[in-house]
Structure 1
Amino acid sequence: MNLLIISFFYKPDLSAGSFRTTALVESLKRNYPDAKVDVITTLPNRYSDFAEECKKFEYDGNVTIYRADVSTRFSGILGQIISFFFFFFFTLKIIMGRNYTHIYATSSRLMTAFLGAIVSFLKKVPLYLDIRDIFIDTVEDVFPKKMTFLVLPILSIIEKFTINRAQIVNVVSRGFLPYFEKKYKNKNYRFFTNGIDAIFLDQYNKYTCHKCNDPLVVVYAGNFGDGQGLHKIIPQLAKRLEGQVLFQLIGNGGRKGELEQTLNNLNVNNVQLLPPVNRAELLKYYDHADILFLHLNDYDAFKKVIPSKIFEYACYNKPIWGGLSGYIVDFIDENMESAHVFHPCDVDDAINKFNEIDFEVRPREAFIHKYTRRNIMDALADDLIELKHY
């Protein structure tokens, strides 16, 4: 049994895709030691100011990891396109002369999934797709209209080929299902979500029922991109809460400059912008926080997602304060207590929900049991191994 796993991000990079694929590979190593697994990925590139040393080629028991160098002097959309072409041709070079029984590709931006479909077609083997975002929705919301007019017809053809090529399509949020089921009927759909990694699991028994800091420390960790929309909420929100709250924002991204500029224009002095850190260091910030914050921009595309950050935050017996809308609001209502949700980019609503925060937070044991990453990835690995029967 020879498996090929294609993931643009992998450990030690910092991203939801990296954590997810790493957990899947660990499951395959643990439960299927006789399987030969090739992982094609990249050297760490998610954040320009965070990089951990790793090898381009790595052997780990029954797993071989091939990492492409996709670094480029270009940034923005052009830089992402060039990086993907590096990854694309690197992948084609690696697979030459190799035979596989299964192919798994995980993608948030469609193109890695498309690459998996191409390899599946070339090798004439079944494809298991893991979809972490609806890229066409995101393009429609985020990109300029002139660009989407030209790009969307091409992306639609790519998406159609990709989904139709797959034997199984997993979506990380049930909010995605109506989109795919309407366009692609009679597919085998799965729903293996993101989950809670082992490094966070020992946090839920730290019972915290009081405010620890004055002013209150509100922590956000993640990307500073258009999808998160921090530049649209944090400056005005922080200004309104001066003297009450200190925001610690950990990460980087394409909208960091705009965020910094707006903070300076409003003379905000209670926001700390901190560089990305590894997960061991991140635990210290979470431990010190009074409130854990997240936010998604007010776009239709983000009304279908489950932010992976919610699984980390759930382990801490601390209030979660977030700007969210759509499916995730129902998901939180059904599965989690002590989450105070306001409408994205709405400062007044955010203030109202802040004033309602109750610091008497009980451990979210049921949620943690249900969404432990190891259990989810073990089930996904079993499903992947059975792919040959479809």
Structure 2
Amino acid sequence: MTRKKVLMLTQNFYPAIGSAGNRMKNIFQLLLRHDIDIEVLTIEPSYPNKNMYKDRMFWDDEEVNQLSNRITRIPIKSRKFTNRLVSRLFFYLEIMYRFLIELWKRRKDNIDYIYVSTPPIFIVLSAFFGTKLIKNKLILEVRDLWPDSLTGVRAFDNKMIIGFFRFLEKKMYAKADTIVINSIGFKSHIESKLKKTKPIVYLPNGPREKEITISEDIRDGFRVVYAGNLGMAQDIDRLKELASLLDKNEIHFDVLGYGMKKNEFQDFIQNENLTYVNLHEPTTRAKSLNLIRNSHVSIAFLNDEEVFSTVLPGKVLDYMTCQTPIVAGVKGVAANIIHQHQTGYAIETTELAPIVEKVLELRENPELLSTMKKNCLKVIQDEFLWEHNIEKIVDIIK
């Protein structure tokens, strides 16, 4: 049987921090192990800023470092406009343009599949052009229901442009041969946009087997952790209020955050003299997981918009990977998993008092905490290991 050739198109790739970059790295590595000839077309890591990646600490996967001949990283110029949305638009348009040039160069490379990850939608437009040139099949990975998530964080509300994006969204689903989703909550939405049925494969985020370790007892007081983006979707005001409440209860609160609200949160800690609250600098996935493992309870919440009820946040899976029970202000898919597998508490409210109440309850009930830790480990091993789930994509390609 001829070895299948795949070209992955993605904005996010190792060593970029965040669940998207880690996800694409895992797919890349595991498809290679299944004897699939895969190459990656991506951009130079730049989030939250390019200079951060000059530190070799972030380039900590030697296996991927040795495969640099399979990874093409496109440099993207940083254009500053007074309007942040205009800056982002030019950023995405340049990615699309540069990817188109690369696809033109590869038009005779006998690529069997283009595997493209969205958002952003502009990379998908490049992939459409690529499939016309190369006459291959398109696997579309949907990590977010865009543009719904754009309106959900109230970042953009121009009805004409949103309408145009919705038109592109329908085209995107229609042109894909196979659609991959990272949350089962996306399936019904995508099916409603399709005129004819096509394969939709659920491939969730999760850990690699090597990332699973049995948690040891934590000796340094009672610790709570929050990991993730300090941006618009995560309500920064709620995080501030939560930090104040935990500090008053003398509970150590570690925040591993990055994003445009990071400095605002750091100033808040200092101005309010919150001695039990620490904001940590962005670091590698391995170090992030260690910080989570050294916590008793984890916190998650999203902006209270309906679009986010379909999302399964990567950090919820990271928390369960580290056997750190969750107290979450979430609803929908994430809440269902937490309830069903008894890995913590999911509270469908924007109020902070019930969340803090559950944290205090777990502090006083180590037996319940221990049971939840075991439940976290079980659900991860049963449903979310990459080594098991990658078979779904291998079956499509081979």
Interval of TM-score (by shorter of Structure 1 and Structure 2): 0.7 to 0.9
Question: Does 2:147 correspond to 1:141?
Answer: no
Alignment check: 8 A CA contact 2:224 2:298 kept: yes
Alignment check: 8 A CA contact 2:223 2:253 kept: yes
User: Residue 178 of structure 1 aligns with which residue?
Assistant: 188
User: Residue 153 of structure 1 aligns with which residue?
Assistant: 163
Q: Report the CA distance between 1:279 and its aligned residue.
A: 2.1
Q: Partners in 1 of 2:67 and 2:155 — Cα distance?
A: 47
Alignment check: 8 A CA contact 2:316 2:334 kept: no
User: Residue 245 of structure 1 aligns with which residue?
Assistant: 251
Q: Partners in 2 of 1:80 and 1:127 — Cα distance?
A: 26
Equivalent position to 2:16, from 5, 13, 16: 13
Instruction: Please list the CA deviations of residues 235-260 of structure 1 after superposition, one character each: whole Å capped at 9, or x if unmatched.
Output: 11222232421221112102224434
Q: TM-score, normalised by structure 1?
A: 0.86
Q: With CA pairs under 8 Å and 6+ residues apart, which has the higher RCO, 1 or 2?
A: 1
User: Residue 284 of structure 2 aligns with which residue?
Assistant: 278
Q: Report the CA distance between 1:333 and its aligned residue.
A: 1.9
Equivalent position to 2:389, from 373, 376, 382: 376
1:217/1:77 CA distance change after superposition, 3 Å? farther
Q: Percent identity?
A: 21
Question: Does 2:196 correspond to 1:189?
Answer: no
What SS is found at the alignment partner of 2:158?
Answer: helix
Q: Report the CA distance between 1:86 and its aligned residue.
A: 2.7
Q: Partners in 1 of 2:230 and 2:8 — Cα distance?
A: 28
Q: Report the CA distance between 1:267 and its aligned residue.
A: 5.1
Question: Does 2:227 correspond to 1:221?
Answer: yes
Q: Partners in 1 of 2:309 and 2:199 — Cα distance?
A: 23
Q: Partners in 2 of 1:292 and 1:45 — Cα distance?
A: 28
User: Residue 44 of structure 2 aligns with which residue?
Assistant: 43
Q: Partners in 1 of 2:344 and 2:158 — Cα distance?
A: 35
Question: Does 2:14 correspond to 1:4?
Answer: no
> Which blocks of at least 5 consecutive residues in structure 1 are unaligned?
none
Q: Partners in 2 of 1:238 and 1:272 — Cα distance?
A: 9
Q: TM-score, normalised by structure 2?
A: 0.85
Alignment check: 8 A CA contact 1:250 1:276 kept: yes
Alignment check: 8 A CA contact 1:27 1:381 kept: no
RMSD (Å), alpha carbons: 2.5
User: Residue 304 of structure 1 aligns with which residue?
Assistant: 310
What SS is found at the alignment partner of 2:130?
Answer: helix
User: Residue 94 of structure 2 aligns with which residue?
Assistant: 86
What SS is found at the alignment partner of 2:42?
Answer: strand
Matches within 5 A, 1:269-348: 269-334=275-340, 336-343=341-348, 345-348=350-353
1:87/1:120 CA distance change after superposition, 3 Å? same
Question: Does 2:175 correspond to 1:165?
Answer: yes
Q: Partners in 2 of 1:195 and 1:144 — Cα distance?
A: 28
- Alignment size in residue pairs: 372
Matches within 5 A, 1:25-44: 25-32=28-35, 35-44=36-45
Letter in 2 for 1:111: F
Matches within 5 A, 1:188-207: 188-201=199-212, 203=213, 205-207=214-216
> Which blocks of at least 5 consecutive residues in structure 2 are unaligned?
none
Equivalent position to 1:118, from 113, 123, 129: 129
Alignment check: 8 A CA contact 1:251 1:277 kept: no
What SS is found at the alignment partner of 1:226?
Answer: coil
What SS is found at the alignment partner of 1:311?
Answer: helix
Q: Partners in 2 of 1:317 and 1:195 — Cα distance?
A: 13
1:139/1:316 CA distance change after superposition, 3 Å? closer
Segment drifting more, 99-108 vs 264-273? 264-273
Q: Report the CA distance between 1:80 and its aligned residue.
A: 2.7
Q: Partners in 2 of 1:292 and 1:274 — Cα distance?
A: 15
**Structure 1 runs of 4+ off > 6 angstroms?**
none
What SS is found at the alignment partner of 2:338?
Answer: helix
Alignment check: 8 A CA contact 1:233 1:347 kept: yes
Q: Partners in 2 of 1:338 and 1:19 — Cα distance?
A: 23
